[in-house]
Amino acid sequence: MPAAAVVAAGLRVGAVLDRARARELARALRRAAALEAAATALARRERSVADLTAQLERRGVPPQARAGAVETMARLGYLDDGRLAATRAASLAARGYGDEAIRLDLEQQGLPAEERASAIAALVPEPERAQAIAATAGATVKTARRLAAKGFSDEAIEAAIGELE
């Protein structure tokens, strides 16, 4: 039995485990299990608040314990939608993705719209990223297709490649 649950329930040697204390122990055990499940999920990879909440729900964590675990992880700094959006957007941009692909990925991560917009705004402008790719790959139709497949806008592709026949 987790020590935190025992302390929260007020158990000690010789104490009678009456109905009220048993209920408090059960609540403390649910909270401890929720925190353990949240820590396990966050140990594998960084998650958004929405993603962690859904993960805990799938694991059968009750709503009150789920909310408490999410709040605790956020308060301790293990859960930060802004940080996740910024690092994920920067990683995708470094791998050659355009703004639309990055926006879609961040949306699939369950990140709020304002966090997605802020993360994309902090990136090097999309036309500059497209020009850097075109400079190394060449200004060809193949490069234009590659940029389009990676989520670059038509304007960014045109600025990088120019008019191709």
- Per-residue pLDDT reduced to its tens digit, 118-140: 999 999 999 999 999 999 998 89
Distance (Å) of CA 61 to CA 23, 49, 55, 70, 134? 17, 15, 9, 11, 49
| Residues 6 or more apart whose Cβ sits within 8 Å of residue 163 | none
Q: What is the pTM of this model?
A: 0.80
pLDDT of residue 4: 74
For the cut 70, the answer to whether the pLDDT of residue 142 exceeds it is: yes
pLDDT of residue 131: 93
Nearest CA-CA partner of 108 in 152, 48, 53: 48
pLDDT of residue 74: 96
Is residue 74 within 8 A of residue 82, CB to CB? The reply is: no
- Per-residue pLDDT reduced to its tens digit, 7-63: 777 777 777 778 888 888 888 889 999 999 999 999 989 999 999 999 999 999 999
**Overall average pLDDT of the 93-122 stretch:** 96
Q: What is the C-alpha separation between 25 and 32, in angstroms, rounded?
A: 10
For the cut 60, the answer to whether the pLDDT of residue 165 exceeds it is: no
- The helix (run of H) or strand (run of E) holding residue 7 is helix 3-9
Name residue 17's amino acid: L
pLDDT of residue 5: 72
Which domains, from first to last, does the chain contain? 3-75 (no CATH), 80-123 (1.10.10), 124-165 (no CATH)
pLDDT of residue 19: 86
**Overall average pLDDT of the 106-126 stretch:** 96
Q: What is the C-alpha separation between 40 and 47, in angstroms, rounded?
A: 11
Query: Residue 70 corresponds to which tokens in the numbers above?
Result: 């999410």
**Mean pLDDT, all residues of the chain:** 91
* pLDDT-above-70 percentage for the chain: 97
Distance (Å) of CA 81 to CA 60, 78, 109? 23, 10, 10
